[in-house]
Structure 1
Amino acid sequence: MTDTSYVEETAARAAASGQSATARFRERSIEGATADRERVSRLASRVIKAINDTVIDERVTYDEYNALKAWLIKVGEDGEWPLFLDVWVEHSVEEVANDHRAGSKGTIEGPYYVEDAPTLPWNGTVPMRDDEPGRPLLFQGQVRSVDGTPLPSAKIELWHADNLGFYSQFAPGLPEWNLRGTFIADDDGRFEIHTIEPAPYQIPTDGACGQLIAAAGWHAWRPAHLHLKVSHEGYELLTTQLYFPGDPHNDDDIAGAVKPELILDPSPRANGDGYEVVYDFVLDPQ
């Protein structure tokens, strides 16, 4: 990696990343989506009541109330609502959405997914720079149905942070599709993806979310992880993340997204070129 590229990448700021995440979310939002009025009334009333109950129970002062208003305004100005919601709320939504699954465990998508990553063969290499830093990783496995049937041509979307903890399209100096790819499984539902092991990282801390973390005395760390979406016609989409053993933040991930079933078991490759890991995906029928 060139020094110029490194400097640009590490100059990433929360506001720029947040605005990108907000723009991506708006692009993917369903136009004209509606919700049942009774459901909206019930949910909004419960949230508002919970806030008011907290104010009364904790005897919130006007200074604290005004500090909250100023902070909420800054969350919007920094474009960090996707980050805030995906870090502190999405894990509960995901739990409700997937509690019926018999197949592989899912977890949160997070704010850094981008659709339509380059399509590659089942045994391809994720797009990366010629001098991409990081330990090589061969990620392989099979996509099957809950009844054990292999799912040929299943789609595996993979994206993850680089060795410095940054995502392409959300930090400057990175190629557009760096460490993002869509892989099509073979006739037996198998895949072999060549990538690099990502690094743990802190969520952006120079914006509104960082202010909350500092004020509360929390940490901002997410453990190293691979993001995946696995799909096949006639089956439920699986959105998940996979983690690496020994990461100190597997037990206290700020996003609360780690599950025991999502911890990988990598081992050194026989040829000495980094590590390899086998992880199969089991999809539920629609």
Structure 2
Amino acid sequence: MTATHNAPVATAACSGASATERFKTDKSSGAANTPKERVSLLAREVLEAVHATIRKHRVTYDEYNALKSWLISVGEDGEWPLFLDVWVEHVVEEVATEHRQGNKGTIEGPYYVPGAPEQGARGSVPVREDEPGTPLVWTGKVTSTDGGVLAGAKIELWHADADGLYSQFAPGIPEWNLRATFTTDEQGRFEIHTVRPAPYQIPTDGACGKLIAAAGWHAWRPAHLHVKVSAPGHEKLTAQLYFPGDEYNDDDIASAVKPELILDLKPADGGGETGETVAYDFVLDPA
């Protein structure tokens, strides 16, 4: 993908270090009270699955040492958040939300940052003066599974720019670029103005890229908008919304695309407006 700004190119080490520090700040203590029996059960079964793979495929010492070297590189590059979020998180999300009756969600990914600027019920995501991308106006409503309107619900939105880079995880991008928080009005409605993102490759110059190259995989994610939707008394929804016709919707490296998350885009109405519009609502489950 051709760069559209002259900012320094983001590296896997830079993105990985930022993602690792963000995780340490926000989430690293999440399982501090997990019972020892639960830790033992999960650790044993993961190790047993590794042992079974070694026996089934007669793994050699050369292959074992290559794995050891690669695991060391993942840590040195700070890419454990990327590795886990790309290849593991989608199954954790599936299990954690299978009980829900409201909207489908999907993975958060490694690039969420809390505290994005508040824009009210109707507003624009912060962008650079020359931000590339097709203008996109998104309107919607947030309700509960019982049909009740959820006024004051929070919608946190973030997404990559046209180069596939996220603010706060790549150099030369303003701190809150393409990140914002919206709050629904008395009718539970919102209107968001942003730009359509582009498909992008996950960083490939680090350990994860080495795995992708060695396995002959591709590194592409389809274009998507990240959201977190929350309201008092309801479960928080984390999702990514995708665009129809994207060649990577059916072959996402992160396995995160679901049919319910693909938007139905329309061309902007006349009146001098350009770009696209979309209507997409959220239904949240009670906590």
Distance 1:29 1:220 in 2: 26
C-alpha deviation, 1:87, in angstroms: 0.2
Q: Is the Cα contact below 8 Å between 1:6 and 1:173 reproduced in 2?
A: no
Aligned to 2:155, what secondary structure does the other structure show? Answer: strand
Determine the structure 1 residue equivalent to 2:255. 256
Q: Percent identity?
A: 67
| Residue 22, structure 1, aligned to residue 8, structure 2 | no
Matching residue's letter, 1:273: T
Structure 1 unaligned spans of 5+? none
TM-score computed with the length of structure 2 as normaliser: 0.96
Q: Is the Cα contact below 8 Å between 1:155 and 1:184 reproduced in 2?
A: yes
Matching residue's letter, 2:20: T
Determine the structure 2 residue equivalent to 1:77. 76
* Number of residue pairs matched by the alignment: 282
Distance 1:159 1:8 in 2: 20
C-alpha deviation, 1:151, in angstroms: 0.4
Q: Residue deviations 1:236-270, cap 9 Å, x none?
A: 00000000000000001000000000000111111
Q: 1:30 to 1:77 in 2, by over 3 A?
A: closer
Aligned to 2:10, what secondary structure does the other structure show? Answer: coil
| Residue 279, structure 1, aligned to residue 280, structure 2 | yes
Matching residue's letter, 2:26: R
Distance 2:204 2:29 in 1: 32
Q: Is the Cα contact below 8 Å between 1:157 and 1:230 reproduced in 2?
A: yes
CA RMSD of aligned residues (A): 1.2
C-alpha deviation, 1:29, in angstroms: 2.0
C-alpha deviation, 1:164, in angstroms: 1.4
Determine the structure 1 residue equivalent to 2:243. 244
4+ long deviations beyond 4 Å: none
Determine the structure 2 residue equivalent to 1:212. 211
C-alpha deviation, 1:206, in angstroms: 0.3
| More moved, 96-105 vs 270-279 | 270-279
C-alpha deviation, 1:8, in angstroms: 2.0
Aligned to 2:186, what secondary structure does the other structure show? Answer: coil
TM-score computed with the length of structure 1 as normaliser: 0.97
Determine the structure 2 residue equivalent to 1:138. 137
Distance 1:47 1:246 in 2: 37
Matching residue's letter, 2:73: K
| Residue 68, structure 1, aligned to residue 53, structure 2 | no
| More moved, 149-158 vs 22-31 | 22-31
Q: Residue deviations 1:76-114, cap 9 Å, x none?
A: 000000000000000000000000000000100000000
Distance 1:273 1:150 in 2: 31
C-alpha deviation, 1:30, in angstroms: 5.3
Distance 2:284 2:108 in 1: 17
Determine the structure 2 residue equivalent to 1:46. 45
